[in-house]
Amino acid sequence: MKMFSRLCFCAFIILESLCTIEAAPVGSPRRVYSLDEGWRFHLGEAPEAVAPDYNDSAWRQVDVPHDYVVEGSFVPSDPGTSPGSKPSWFSLHAFLPVKSAVYRKELPIPADAKGKRLWLEFDGVFNNSRYWLNGREVYSQYSGYTRARFDITTATDFGGRNVLVVQIDPRYEGWWYEGGGIYRHARMVVLDPVHIAPDGVFVAPQLADPGDGVRADADIKISTALANAGDVPAEATVLNEVFDATGKVIATTSSAQALAARADATVSQSISLSGATLWSVETPYLYKLRSTVSLAGKIVDQTTAAFGVRHIRFDAAHGFFLNGKHVKLKGVNMHQDHAGVGVAVPDRLFTWRLERLKEMGCNAIRLSHNPVTPFLLDECDRMGILVMAENRNLGDVYVDQTPKDAPAVEHRELSALILRDRNHPSIFCWSLCNEQWIQGTPESGAMVRAMMKRVRELDPTRVITAALNGGFDTPEGIIGQLDVIGINYNPWVYDGVHAQFSKVPMIASEIASEIGTRGIYATEHWENYYGDRERGYVAAYSITAGPAGQTVENAWPPVAERENIAGGFVWAGFDYKGEPRPFEWPVINCHYGFFDICGFPKDSYYYYKAWWSDEPVLHLFPHWNWPGREGQEIPVWVHSNCDEVELFLNGVSLGRQTVKPLHHLEWKVKYAPGTLLVRGFKGGKEILTDKVETTGQPVAVNLAADRTTITADGKDVAVFTVQVADAKGRMVPTANDAITFAITGPGKIIGVGNGDPSSHEPDQFVATKDNPSPKWSRSLFNGLAQVLVQSTQAPGEIKLTATGKGLEPASVTVQTTPKEFSK
């Protein structure tokens, strides 16, 4: 084996430590084993580690998903460890140095597995990865977002010792924080030579008429791709069964298929469902398809796939329709990192984030700008959230901006995206790319036509779009090829584009880019921004937007008021590491979200909730702690969907205002300590109140968990919110106290954060030889911090304790229960 001087990740696999995971039905001959636990990890160069007999006993043990870059320290300039980077990229990627590293894991495969086929699957490895088994290179992949899947059968020593090595030499793909490592789930698949091909089942429900929008007759088209990896022909039987949500079989179909040796074949079938329950945002009903392959009556493979039946229609004049009902897409753009854990986001945390979005009326997300972890799409299916799934780049390139002479032939990443995700009912369209400089050229038009041809070969059921920020008047470019025109920003071009392409539907694929820092109400003005320039904070009032962006009140109304625009996707739902515009150091993450990076809402969250949800909303800000500013005017804002709002200071009315739809209310109030209160009226009746009070100094820590019970599976997570209270029990909104955390029981802290875009405190405290038991801590930022606690596989009681200097401590317990007892 040729050795080489690359920085790398390496991995060993031990079968006895693997857990079967639910990716195949119980009783299926197919076996799927999680590879998430027990990797050996080393940060730095170790080219010799690809040798099977390499001794990794001194290396640190970690589980995946794992982001090792977030474990590092923020530095103002690149120390030269970030391979392949440009000077500007270091700040755009959050001022965290990027190195390669090493993992190991041993996999004894029993002798009786000989004759089976073995695959390895990695949902996401960032990036530029190479894979070695027993000293033999078996696969390589550049993309950090596309799943790596490869056959290891011929490289396996059945009954012997097997060593897998994953080498990673990260290179930036985007202009935001991307992390590094095996940051999504990994697994091994063992199956018979005759089997269902990877991503081989495509379920395509078809509706001629959505009926009453709740139930309709459907024709379920099923395509099952078979593979015969054996040396002899086979006569296979393919049985497909549809289960309803209660687990009852409601329809079946069966077909015979001859398979030549070392050959593939596809079986096409159809099942009629009379009065099928439709999947919608309000009632996301899911069916399950079980696909079974048999030889001479013996089952040799079996898989399941969830699917939904729904009818989607775009109208150039009237927008988007789901099951015959007009739906305005109220969406957000999302990157994939979170405070404390970087890009290695636990599944439960994705669910927690989606729950926050759903609560405020969001009904759609754009996956910007790359394929995401499969679990996120599963949750969108389950929760009823529509998805615009986006390909990473235009054509087969790995640079952000595709050159004019780029080939458009293989479309590897695009094909992988479509094949993996095409059964998800939540996905309503495919997006080919984002903001390409050549988007108005004939070359880009040709590339898009080739890409669209490939998409339709794999999935003819969905429309195709792309996110454009230019080339709006050049039909020979991307815009002239699309099923649905996607426009990023530029609301002033909506009407002109609609006039020129009057028969093509439109969607605002990216809007806003308002910049604001949670809890910051300074209004110093510099350039085009307002806030605290020295500390790198932007005012939380909706008065600042990024380059080419708009504030919420300039971004959403042009979408909401135009029936022909299907909806809009706000940039962004959550803050994320990197892209610290308009700043450089000391800022290490963006300010674009209406949630901060911890998922704490900013004030603009309530603007969207007011106009996206049917729930009455009345939100008053800022806080009312302004010592030394007595008698000075403070801008006081209210976001509300009430008819009228009246403001009071210490019981004295400061006037009642009528709410203008899609806009905020504002008063100038001379500061006096006490209580600022608003009353909201609907139809002349008071329906809501909100208030902010001048608080005292912090005297006690307050700790709260999002749930009291989690699953003892080593993966589930409880999200703890940390605050401090004054002597009257009121939360102190300006507090920045340092809080230390201790944990007992079957759980571990996996990350901390506070939403401060200029904080250089560590997100993680990694045990070292010199400090085997580091203390976890985090300062509050404007009254808030967050702790992420993960279960182990042992049931019991986790106790988290939070302490601060001069503060009464707080403790909260969370129970962990075995998986079979958890809801």
3-state secondary structure of 276: strand
235 is catalytic: no
Contact 607, 600 (CB under 8 A): no
| SS3 per-residue string spanning 184-214 | CCEEEEEECCEEEEEEEEEEEEECCCCCCCC
CA distance 598 to 596: 5
Sign of CA dihedral 394, 398, 404, 407: negative
Beta bridge partners of 814: 798
First to last CA, the chain: 49
Give the max Cα distance, the chain.
Answer: 90
HSE of 649, CA atoms in CB hemisphere, 13 A: 17
User: What one-letter code names the amino acid at 546?
Assistant: G
Q: Cis omega before residue 622 (within 30°)? A: yes
- List the structure tokens of 497: 């584009």
Tell me if residue 478 falls in helix, strand or coil: helix
Catalytic residue at 527? no
Whole-number Å distance between alpha carbons of 672 and 768:
51
Residue 761 backbone phi and psi in degrees, to 5? -65, 150
CA distance linking residue 127 with residue 105, whole number of Å: 19
* Active-site residue, from 37, 178, 379, 510: 510
How far is it, in rounded angstroms, from Cα 246 to Cα 250? 10
For helices 604-612 and 552-560, the axis angle rounded to 10 degrees is: 10
Q: Using CA atoms, how far apart are residues 368 and 387, in angstroms rounded to an integer?
A: 11
Residue 338 contacts residue 354 (beta carbons within 8 Å) = no
DSSP state string for 626-689: -TT-TTSEEEEEEEE-SSEEEEEETTEEEEEEEPPTT--EEEEEE--SSEEEEEEEETTEEEEE
Query: Residues 413, 415, 421, 427: what is their CA dihedral angle, to the nearest 10 degrees?
Result: 90
Give the three-state DSSP class for 722.
strand
Map tokens 């998922």 to a residue: 599
Listed residue (218, 200, 52, 7) closest to 119, CA to CA = 200
- Beta strands 427-434 and 463-468 are parallel
**Residue 797 near residue 745 (C-beta atoms within 8 A):** yes
Exactly one of 435, 443, 514, 693 is catalytic; name it: 435
Catalytic positions, please? 435, 510
